[in-house]
Structure 1
Amino acid sequence: MQSRIMENKVEGVYSVIEYKMRASNNQHDYLRLILENAHERLIANCWMSNYCGPLRFNTNEVVRITGKKNKLSSSTDTVDVYSADVVTPTGKDALITIPESLVGCPEDIHKLIELVDSICSEELKDFVYEVFSSREFALPFCTLAATHNPQHSIEGGLLKHSVECAEIVAGCPYLRIIDRDIATVAALFHDAGKILPRKIGGNASHIKMIDTLKVLHWSLLGLDHDCPNFGKALRDIWSLNKPTRHWEYEEKMSIATVVQMADRISTNLNMEKQPFSVEETWRNHVRHPITDQRFWRPSEAAIPNSFSESLSNSAQWR
């Protein structure tokens, strides 16, 4: 559930960023908590006289709190917490409780939440929530770089690249709704195996595929129980688009190609964006400083006025 503030009452789920036992000016002990989720950061005080809950927490542990908002003279908003319970996040809370400050680009966690909301299949939506309910998966997935190569190599690059791929797939107009949902989830988790320690040597693509199936294994078993066809489809897509043999025939999936193309589009756009981002807008030819790859695109100075006006008008309607 999302956090709710009704009048001065506060109720919601958060991750614990920091906790410390402190003493007030009148020497009364209280517990100070720094709490955060995808939408807000709270400073919370747990006064021993009217607090029910644990006195010790682990960093990034998820808690459900109830309390009252308290505005201090310093204009800093705090919450007096009456109760706190350590919980395993379920449903949408699995995404909401990811701390915004831990993500390289906070906007990406908001895009992730919107993306999952757009999935029509409740079984696939629940599968995504189940995967992210594990902090051992969610935190590295949202904070690690996607690769040691130049593209998406920043902190949080794995989440950014994964969301970009899923958004590209979700926007494909020629897919059936069910195919779009499956492909969106497949694109979101196509690099999930990268949260595991990097292995040296061997076939990198094969290792990534094995690692992806490994980290998603338990959630896939649950999906197999609820909807076996979805589990089979996702495994086939992540298995390097290798057609499944059925009797004497090979069963191909077009959505596997859509996912692969989304991966390439996201990677190439990021590679192109890096060198252009430090150049003047009129430049249309650049060289990547690391890979020496050269890129060309129409410069803004060459864009016709009619096209610029169309862009301006469309922006006003967004």
Structure 2
Amino acid sequence: MSSHIKEAQSTLVTSTQPCTSDATPSQIGAFLIKHSDAFMNLQKVPSPSSSMEHTSGHYFIEEIIQGRHKNGEESIALVLTNFITKKIAIIDSKKIREIERATQLEPLYFRLRKIDKNTYKVVKIKKTTEQVPFPPEKLSADVLKQFGIYDKRSSQLIKLINKINHPELEQFVSIVLSNPLIATPFFNCKASWSFHHSVPGGLLKHSLEVAEMVFAWPGMDTTERAIATVAALLHDIGKIRTFGPDGSTYSRLIQHDALTLEVLANGLHWLDGVDKEIALALRHLFTAASPGARYGKPAMMRIAYLIHFADRWSSETDLQDMATPTKNGFKSWKGNDFWSPQDNDQ
């Protein structure tokens, strides 16, 4: 396997009994790489609880190591993690069908965080369980740099989260965005196919504009401001599915706002254990009829309307900035007309 393929895509695997197959470890590696782009559809993340207990048999492939047994035969070691525990499974020719079976589940994100070719000597199949670090209390540059996405926007995001002054919500954002399967598309997706912020990275730009406007709004106490800011930041997070590599299929079948709670399930489950009221507030804001869900309960929190307003302001501003002047102070962009007094002087 090539060490150049460091950010191929990741998958979830389920522990199963070994199945007989004639595939070689080299073929396993080729299989993983060949299908690395085939499952960038749906992320299914096991949900850690506040008690740090976990019983799910689902794991992400964290690392793949190509090595050799003492007898010279090739082997592949998978380092599997569910964010709380970690185990090592040596994959040989008898276990290739475990990987094949994983691909036959519902479409999954397939992300190999790291592929290293080395000369590790593997003597036997080894299964271990150990604690792995839980996502940090605050999102940091170091975390984002691991995903290769740290830039000016990352710095802007971290500064905003640090300003909300709410430890539980800061850690909630850390749990969500410390997952590369969420952070990477969140930083790189468009916010729309051909409407506002319709360029790579547009989703994060739009999300930051909405969140910063909401944060600056007067008249809120610390907790309300923190909830509103986090909800504003993540209000379009479902778009990582609808505007990802297979987003055209998703967007034709499912509205992005219907995917929000699914994408955030891991973080919301953790938040339930530390502040259930705030977790409930976020769920309400993400699903209420305002700020944007087509179905849902009527908004019962005033900040829902604030988020809706900031969302619209960011969208309209981006469209107006892209519009081409026509005449009499008007601008037009893809059938959308704009006018403002200052344009009359041009």
Match of 2:262 in 1: 214
Match of 2:342 in 1: 299
What is the distance in 1 between the residues matched to 2:155 and 2:173? 15
Give the AA of the match of 1:108. R
What is the distance in 2 between the residues matched to 1:17 and 1:223? 37
What is the distance in 2 between the residues matched to 1:228 and 1:106? 33
* CA shift in 2, pair 1:193/1:302, >3 Å: same
1:159 aligns with 2:204: yes
What is the distance in 1 between the residues matched to 2:286 and 2:223? 17
* CA shift in 2, pair 1:149/1:237, >3 Å: same
1:216, distance to aligned residue in structure 2 (A): 0.5
What is the distance in 2 between the residues matched to 1:251 and 1:139? 31
Q: Whose strand proportion is higher, 1 or 2?
A: 1
1:225, distance to aligned residue in structure 2 (A): 0.6
Residue ranges of structure 2 left out of the alignment (5+ in a row): 7-78, 80-110, 115-131, 292-296
Greater relative contact order: 1 or 2 (C-alpha under 8 angstroms, separation 6 or more)?
Answer: 2
1:147 aligns with 2:195: no
Match of 1:98 in 2: 144
Structure 1 length as normaliser, TM-score?
0.58
Which residues of 2 match residues 220-299 of structure 1 at below 5 A? 220-241=268-289, 252-275=300-323, 284-288=329-333, 291-299=334-342
What is the distance in 1 between the residues matched to 2:212 and 2:188? 19
What is the distance in 1 between the residues matched to 2:194 and 2:323? 15
* CA shift in 2, pair 1:250/1:239, >3 Å: closer
CA deviation string 1:2-48 (max 9, x = no partner): xxxxxxxxxxxxxx9988xxxxxxxxxxxxxxxxxxxxxxxxxxxxx
1:93, distance to aligned residue in structure 2 (A): 4.8
Match of 2:125 in 1: none
TM-align CA RMSD = 3.7
What is the distance in 2 between the residues matched to 1:216 and 1:191? 11
What is the distance in 2 between the residues matched to 1:216 and 1:160? 19
1:176, distance to aligned residue in structure 2 (A): 1.9
Residue ranges of structure 1 left out of the alignment (5+ in a row): 1-15, 20-56, 62-85, 244-248, 304-318
> Is contact 2:197-2:206 (8 Å) kept?
yes
* CA shift in 2, pair 1:163/1:60, >3 Å: farther
CA deviation string 1:226-249 (max 9, x = no partner): 000100000001113479xxxxx9
Q: What is the percentage of aligned positions where both structures have the same residue?
A: 31
Give the AA of the match of 2:157. L
> Is contact 1:17-1:60 (8 Å) kept?
no
What is the distance in 1 between the residues matched to 2:263 and 2:204? 16
CA deviation string 1:35-76 (max 9, x = no partner): xxxxxxxxxxxxxxxxxxxxxx99865xxxxxxxxxxxxxxx
> Is contact 2:196-2:315 (8 Å) kept?
yes
CA deviation string 1:233-280 (max 9, x = no partner): 00001113479xxxxx9871111111111111111111111125xx69
- Report the count of equivalent residues: 214
Match of 1:23 in 2: none
* CA shift in 2, pair 1:111/1:250, >3 Å: closer
> Is contact 2:137-2:167 (8 Å) kept?
no
> Is contact 1:209-1:240 (8 Å) kept?
no
Give the AA of the match of 2:288. L
* CA shift in 2, pair 1:93/1:218, >3 Å: closer
Give the AA of the match of 2:338. F
1:123 aligns with 2:168: yes
The 3-state SS of whatever aligns with 2:200 is coil
Structure 2 length as normaliser, TM-score?
0.54
1:91, distance to aligned residue in structure 2 (A): 3.4
* CA shift in 2, pair 1:100/1:297, >3 Å: farther
